[in-house]
Amino acid sequence: MLICPLDYRYGKKEMKAVFSEENRLRTQLLVEAALARAHAAVGNIPEEAAETITEKCSPEHVRLERVKEIEAETKHDVMAMVNAISEQCGDAGRYVHLGATSNDIVDTAAALEFKAALDMIERDLDMLIITLCALAARHRDTVMMGRTHGQFAIPTTFGFKISGYVMEMLRHRDRLREARSRVCVGKMSGAIGTGAGFGDKFFRIQQLVMQDLGLGVEEAATQIVGRDRYAELVFLFSIIATSCERFATEVRNLQRSEIAEVAEAFDAKKQVGSSTMAQKRNPMLSENVCGLARIVRAYLDPQLECMVLWHERDLTNSSAERFILPHAAVLTDDILSKMTDVFAHLTVNEANMLRNIDSAGGFIMAESVLLALAGKGMGRQEAHELVRKVSRKAEDEGKDLKEALKANRAVTKLLRGKELDKVMDPTNYVGKAPEMVDRTIAYAEAKLGRKII
């Protein structure tokens, strides 16, 4: 019977495979094999023994089912694996796990999982960035309403709005790359990190193991790798997921019936929006992203709690992390893929964007008028007060702002003829938004090292 939605509803199989039982065993076997090779390299064990252990440290020889059988008796998962390896190695089995403690294997194997997961997340980020760049370029000059506090503000372009998303995801990409060296770290330093079990050759053994596996070294471990590293990883997942929730919330708002400026893709022939309201076309992917992002963030608090352990360690982190790390990674990967899908197939209704601008009655151009008056010699504060009073009067009387301005002598004295029409045209007041779209795309191309548009 399946209980966890990751088993039957959410997540991609590639990321779920990284944190599967099978891969957990495979990575731990890789660590045990690397340890044997390091011992042989420093002369602690025969080269032939290391070769045998390396050969047998594979799921073909050390089967998950056998490890579970032994664990049922020993009540210790790592020792069960060690015994299962030893069974396969003959005389060389006496050298398996030599000098190590359980978390030398567990935490180092986890670092291999993190490395694979971060590779996938970086690819996800790249795909989303490329998709967003294409959307921004397509709507570089598409004028729409800018909104603050849920109210009409001044005009912008849809491409510029999306450019902000591009830059945010590029920052996450930088964060991910910076975090790799701190997160993808293992240890091979024994019971409480002193290396006593490895003798005088400890430093060399630890260095060889981590070089072999392509990982960094926890230089001053306790019995475990520092959990601030794990907290940073979960924070990275959380902040990426939260950015996606922000983007998805914007899609949901802009798809509201009374706004109707964008819409998620909808298969009109087959897709159902509601079991009873047959007309419904809901932003379901965006809503799904928002819900899952809240779960990812929720894992950050228990991972922070896992930093606080007694002395050199206790087991309070272990059970919690078996939930936290796989779920946070799988859901973040899922969220990024869904967000890419949303933006790759987004419908942009330019006519409704212009309709909403027109519905503002010209009031969104108040700042443009204020600055135009100031440019004609009127003091900035005087211009602000004049436009404020005219705006309030026009609103009270149900008039268009341009109509009210044309009736004001102080305004028409400075803005004559078609000057006011030009100042009141929303397409003339998007600043350098289109150029900033170009700059954003160029920056993204430089960061990704490839041509996007």
Active site residue ranges: 149, 274
Distance CA 284, CA 206 (A): 49
Among all chains, which residue has been given the structure tokens 């922070």? 304
Residue type present at position 346: L
DSSP string, 237-259: HHHHHHHHHHHHHHHHHHTSTTT
For residue 205, how many other CB atoms are within 10 A of its CB? 26
**Residues 73, 75, 77: CA angle, nearest 5 degrees:** 110
CB 222 within 8 A of CB 195: no
Q: Which amino acid is at 134?
A: A
Give just the sign of the alpha carbon dihedral 152, 129, 273, 142: positive
| Spatial CA neighbour of 356 closest among 137, 140, 151, 160 | 151
> Which residues 6+ apart lie within 8 Å of 436 measured at CB?
160, 163
8 Å CB contact between 109 and 21: no
Beta carbons within 10 angstroms of residue 278's beta carbon: 8
DSSP symbols for 398-452: T--HHHHHHT-HHHHTTS-TTHHHHHT-GGG--TTHHHHHHHHHHHHHHHHTS--
Q: Compute the distance between CA of residue 177 and CA of residue 171 in angstroms, rounded to an integer.
A: 10
d(C-alpha 146, C-alpha 57), whole Å: 60
